Amino acid sequence: MLPCDCVADTRSPRRPIINRAALLIVALGMAGCGASSAGGVANRNGTPSASPHARPQAVQPTAGEQAQAVDASPTTTTPVGDPNAHAPPLSQVKALLQQELVAAPPTSAGYINPLHYVTVWERTDQGVDANMPVGAPILAPCRIKILAIIPNWYAGQPLIYWELLEGPDAGKIQFVAEEITDLATPGSYLQQGQPIARYAPSGTGIEFGWSTTNGVTLAMATTGYEEGIPTPAGKSIRAWLNSLGANAGNG
């Protein structure tokens, strides 16, 4: 998933309680809406935005920092983000990611399915779309480092990036975005199975996918992206999830 333009969203609603058109008053989100500019963070459909009103969060790494224990209990916290705010410029996101990267080498460690609690798998585009019970966690597939958060990636909803520190894909960056809350702190390290974020009480479902060190989704950085159209990057993350027993189908 990556940024969008400021027009009404033509996608089919993921959740009947959400009015997608109303949400798209946003400026930009790593798929939010925003004003177009060559130097800004790409929004959901790839249009950059240069307005840096909302800033990604980043802190100095704390080795061995632990997150709360895995718990799928509901939470009343609403999604992070201001629907009227703008995503930060792409240059700032790239700098934060470069600052936090570990550049971990591949290992023989295995992964667990980070989307264990998904109830409905949806389409493939930049990544994989899905729905979960309110409060359900998105789990660290292995030991990871949280790199940065975009507070207003899409429709006032956040995106969080992390780096895989173990396994054959160590050094690669993943993201989850949109209907998430209780996000882990940038710069922190999570052990396998700890919560990266939780499914929020309202929003547009989640998108899970590969990113790049430049703060652009892998789909946008390689083949490009059109809303709702499957990409090689999106198909790749679905296959990766299926290899972990996610039963995500073909999308």
- Distance CA(144)–CA(133), nearest Å, equals 24
Question: Domains in the chain: how many in total?
Answer: 1
169 found inside a domain: yes
104 found inside a domain: yes
Judge contact between 121 and 251, C-beta under 8 A.
yes
Residue 67's domain spans which residues? 20-243
- Which residue in 208, 178, 200, 68 sits closest to 134, CA to CA? 200
Q: pTM for the whole thing?
A: 0.69
Residues 118-148: pLDDT tens digits?
Answer: 999 999 988 999 999 999 999 999 999 999 9
Residue 41 phi/psi, 5-degree rounding, is: -65, 135
12 found inside a domain: no
250 found inside a domain: no
Region of residue 189 (left: phi > 0; alpha: psi -120 to 50; beta: else): beta
172 found inside a domain: yes
Q: CATH no. for residue 151?
A: 2.70.70.10
15 found inside a domain: no
Whole-number pLDDT of residue 2: 39
Average pLDDT for the chain? 74
251 found inside a domain: no
Whole-number pLDDT of residue 208: 98
33 found inside a domain: yes
